[in-house]
Structure 1
Amino acid sequence: MLYTDLLRFWDEAVKAVDARDWPGALSKLDQITEPTSRTLFVSQSVHLALGQVELAIKALDETIEKDERLAVGFFQRAGAKMMANRLEEALGDCVRAQKHMRQNPVIDYRQLGLRYKLYSWQVLYNAAAVHSGMGQWDKARDILTGTLQERGAGRGGGTLELGLESISRREVLEPLLLPEGVVFRPRKQEVEQLKQRDFLGKAKVITSVIPNDDFGGFEPLRMQKPGFYEPSIEGSQDSHYMCLKNTYLAQGPGELTAPSGGLVFVLSDADRNGMTTVIHDGQKGLLPVTMLEPVDVKKTKRKMNKGSVPNGIPLPPGSNPPTRPQNQTSLGLQGTDALPCYIAAIQPSPPPPYTTSSEQGFSSAQSEEPHGSLAVKVHYRYTVSLCVPPDTPYGELQQKIAHKLGQPATQLRLRHKQQGTQVLRPLDKEEGLKGLAEVAESGRVTLWCQNEDPLFNRPILYQMVALYDYAAQGPEDLEFSEGDTIDVLSEVNEEWLEGHAAGSVGIFPRCFAYRETGQAGSSEAGAFQ
């Protein structure tokens, strides 16, 4: 038997159990030719619900034959045999159920598809019930008393106490069984796989030379002929053009509305209702065959004007692309004064000279600077330029750059590169721009600006340059990009350093950055201001 068939019958039987349709559940279970232990457990539950105790015991026997370590199977069979007054056999099943509990206080069967937890106290309660049925009241009381004292009794204390009261009154205990409808169920993921899925889907027309084309099949491409496009017809069906005698209005689903004299292409013969399938104006539908009359397509084509549009299936557009406007030479005119206004307005102008972004920044700054000013290019998240006097104080320069960037001046840190090094060093607040060697040589200066929060009392041991991009692996890591300058605040160990970059403080691997030779840690130590 196929596993898919077993799953289908099993799922349908479980649904019948949920609906309390016991005969329907049995009919589905009987169709399973190779039952498993779990499907047989479903059968015993149905038999017990119908009051067929012996058939339930037989189903449980087959269940245990297929799974000899199913503790819940022995537990259920013990209760069924007590109902059949087979007490000695029921006591043996209680012993086997307790054995296969493997000293566990509880076994949860949800992973196997059974929404039930079997507790050890339930097995012992059924054993006490067997002894009460055999008249062994002392033994039954001892079992219940010992079970109450065990930690595994759990939430069954109330049931055990009621059992002790019944034993004291010499009343036979009723066996415990699984609730009605609690059965093994197939896995939901496997049941969902039984549904048929259309992985390819239905063909859909995306684009077509035929207007309103709704053809959804597969057909090879064919050559287009001048005139009307004739769809292919299967078999030896008679295909031809016909003309409508009078205007017809659609009166039902699938019918077409067509004007009098409209040309249609007939796809099929008339059905028993007198309707035939046609194509008109790119749409497929039904028309009464009595409204159609034959037409000579060749004569109809000759009568058409050159610019007319056919009523049937139009061909792809055949218009030529628009021509370009004539240039000045072809018009034979001299000068823009003689040109029409729409041509003179679009006369080409010479392209602007190409310059790089850095050249544009400096050229624009120099064109705007007064005599004796200094061109300053500032690298931020973007690049800006401005002109300032060479003796501008650090605070005033910081304020101008902050105004240009739209950022608070207190959180901007200005740096520069010394010749022959890649390390960004803080700009001296006392000397400002005057202390830079490049100012004296070229009259230009390039600064780097970072937006960062002030960190007080944190000395900078030295600076390093990032060799690679480093993505933070945790909240304590410092993230930076290749070429960034990192202020080293402390050395965590031989492999990790604590640093500061772009307003963030964190740790990073030492191997991701390098320290240029010639730096002195103590002499270059600074602090965030």
Structure 2
Amino acid sequence: MPSVKDELLQWNDACQLFEAKDYKQSLILLDAIADTSKIHFSMGIAFINIKKEEQAIAALSKAIACDKYMAIAYYVRGILFFRRDFFAEAIADFSDALENMRSNLVIDYTQIGMAHKLHAFEIAFNRGLCYSANGKMDAAIADFDDADRMHPSTGDKLALEEKIDQAVDLGDRAVDYVNVFEMDYSKAVFKPSEEKVKNAKRVNYLGTSKVVAGVDETDAFAGFSGTLVKSQKNLVNSGPFEGNGMGGSETLTRKKSLTDVSVSSARKEKADAARAATLTRMRIDPVPDSLARRPSAPIISSRNSSMALDPVDISKLDLGRATGGTLRSGSRGAGGTSLRSEVSESRMSDKIRVKCNYKGDTRQIMVPMDVTFKELQSKIQKKFDSSRPLRLKYKDGDAMVMMSDEEDMEIAFDIAGVRSGKSVEVWCSD
């Protein structure tokens, strides 16, 4: 079973193949790790690019099964139903997509890995076109009016108004001449976080070894310029020394000539004569050999002497007395903080404080650092005594973003700065 890091790197490789338009190879990599709504949605988009709409509908259905609040999955599946003239199914999907917009006019999926913004007016117009195909013009006109009202002030609103006028004029024949709003399927793929991919890649901190010195085969020379072999192994220096000049095994001897021997003998005789004359003049007899060769004091070896100290056995020392008594569990350290308080502080550092807002009521819970999204949702449900799981949102700047899976929860924690000890605040709804 591949590790989480391996799956992350494989997901990143699949996205690179998708961008290179190698959709089939991308599908092979995605299918091996398909266990989240984002992966199944990306597979559905890849199937659309290779013109396999039935497989795309199946993949999008799996994405919805993993995340029933995924508005973009309902939206794309509704478009596929519209293409196949399944207008009732398309109306149901567009209705679910609008419901999961949570009254927001736009959802920016860029912050969770996909470069696309889903607009509510596009969903409303597409549903109105499906109503007109079924002959329900009153419902169609109501959706067209909602689309015109939901359109942002910035953007090409005139193009939307022209499409609405054309659809109203054509009535039930509008489906043959007016196109629904769609997305750019060549870019609609969820990508993993770049920071996580960077941290997942293996880094060789030690580097590779490099040879900086070479030695010849006789091991007689070493240098820093590669393998050097001496051309001459027995070099003899010229001069007053004999033997090997490059560190041979023979003893170096000095050449002695006859002139050197005669000069040395003359100097010795002259020195002896001067010494004898001095002793005669001072009338001092030579020192007897018995006094001159007095034996020196014996040297005591520290290795064999009985005065050498035995090594100290540390295990026999009374450490309790040396430190002033045995330490107790309730004793305080140098800083005045008890061991019990230090343990409690270390335990508190492993917790995250979550501030929960629900129907005007604010409560707080503590969760571990490695809490899962399901555990967080369950604990908040128990805190407010709710009969079913609550929908969670977090704040990113001025926008309220839906928290629906593990990655959304991690993004919320990172924005709040829980790693540095700060709390995170969530808003709950039914």
TM (normalized to structure 2)? 0.49
Q: Counting helix residues as a fraction of each chain, which structure ranks higher?
A: 2
Higher normalized contact order (CA 8 Å, seq sep 6+, divided by chain length): 2
The TM-score normalised by the length of structure 1 is 0.41
